[in-house]
Every structure is written in C-alpha cells, then in structure tokens.
Structure 1
C-alpha cells in the first residue's frame, strides 16, 4: 500500500510540503525612469536585471533555477524583474541603454552604469552570484 499512498496522495512528507525560502528580493521594473535609478545604484553595487517572458516554458524553468541560486548571503542583492510581455518598451530601452542584444530569458548585471555580464537561457543558472557582490 505504501507505493499507492505516495502515488495517489497518501501521507505527504512534511519536508516536501515546505517551500524553500527564497532570498531573492525582486524589484519590479515597470518604468523607464528606473533605468536611471539602476545606473545610479550601480555606482556603489552590482544591480541585476532579469528579463522574463511569462508565456515561455524555458523562461519559467530558468527563473526557478535562478531563484535557487540565492542563499542568505545574497539576500541584499538588487534584483530587478522585467516582465517582457507587459513592458516591451522598457525591454527595448534596457538593450539600448546597456548595449545588449535582446534575449529571453536574460540576465544583465550592471556596474558603474554599464552591463558587465549578461547571460541568456540556461546559461543564467551558471552565474556565480558571489562574484558580483
């Protein structure tokens, strides 16, 4: 009966019910004015921009893996979230401002007003966050 219970909803392990605590403090990127804010903040610390398509399966998978990269030591990183479908013009301006060709999903890391690193698709999950602290 044990195998049937696990398949058909018997007892559930407490650990599997608990969701992993996320250390990502997403900042919604919803206005062009925030790009100037990002450049200003980047003078003293790295700023992350995650461009995400809510209709893309790959993007959905990558964002979950990206969030899993964050540990408590990364909780103060500035991470902006850009919904590509709702803010297409901002996405275009991000590419122009930071001289990066559009990809989706895409991660840009901005320091001193310029993109010092960018990755797209599954390469995002290989990013060493600590390198940019």
Structure 2
C-alpha cells in the first residue's frame, strides 16, 4: 500500500486545487452512494470514478477541475469515488446504474438514473457542459 501512496503522490499535480477544494465530495461507503443517488432526484449530479495510480485518470481529474473552476458557484454537484480505495462503491455504481465500469469514468445521474457517461480522454470540460445542458432540458 505504501507503494500505491508513493505513486499517487507522484501523480498529484502541484499547484492545482484538490477536488475537495472545488466542492467535490468523496464517496467512501454504500451509504454515501445512496445519499448521492437520492440527491440526484432533485438536481443532476456527476459521479467521477477515479484511479489514484493512473496517469489517464489524473488527466481526467484535471479536466473535471477545469470544468469546475470555470463553472464556479453554478457548478452542479460532483461526487468522487476512488476505485481502488473504495472498490465496493465503484462496483455498486456500475451495478445500480447499469453502466459498465471504466476508470476514469464520469457519469451524469438525474433522478437516480445514468443519463450520460464518458471515460478516459472523452472526459473534457466541453463534453461535461454539453451533457449537463442536455440533462437540464
């Protein structure tokens, strides 16, 4: 596990705000997932499945951060699940929402249902904006 921590630190981008500083809440338990899905009944929300040891996931994290910084206070809710550290939550997302697991993966949830998802290089600020606009119609 110490090896994984060292890799995660190496992948961290100095100077960029942590996801928590951008208003992203981490889901660590199935209860957290239940709460997020319940909250999506009133407002759409994004679930971001992130690997702390993958450089592609680090790039997707940066894209999510760029979107959030641009959206500011108007940003929708975002929840983060670290797929290695919280595997039961990651697996439950795939099972409950019927979206095949990938990492990195961003899923837009509205009324407890997945209405859009993207993975890997498709996670871009413009794609997030378009998905959110479509979900708000």
Query: Which TM-score tier does this pair reach, normalised by the shorter chain?
Result: 0.7 to 0.9
Q: Within 5 Å, give how 1:119-130 maps onto structure 2.
A: 119-125=118-124, 126-128=127-129, 130=132
Which protein has the larger Cα radius of gyration, Structure 1 or Structure 2? 1
- Find the counterpart in structure 2 of residue 58 from structure 1: 56
- Structure 2: gaps (5+ residues): 1-14
Secondary structure of 1:45's counterpart equals coil
Distance in 1, Cα, partners of 2:110 & 2:81: 18
Aligned residues between the structures: 115
Secondary structure of 1:101's counterpart equals coil
- Find the counterpart in structure 2 of residue 33 from structure 1: 31
Instruction: Kindly state the Cα deviation for residue 73 of structure 1 after the two structures are TM-superposed.
Output: 4.6
Instruction: Kindly state the Cα deviation for residue 30 of structure 1 after the two structures are TM-superposed.
Output: 0.4
Higher share of residues assigned helix: 2
Distance 1:51 1:19, change over 3 A: closer
User: Root-mean-square deviation (CA), in Å?
Assistant: 2.3
Moved more, 33-42 or 123-132: 123-132
1:115 matched to 2:114? The reply is: yes
TM-score by length of 1: 0.77
Secondary structure of 2:122's counterpart equals helix
Distance in 1, Cα, partners of 2:107 & 2:74: 16
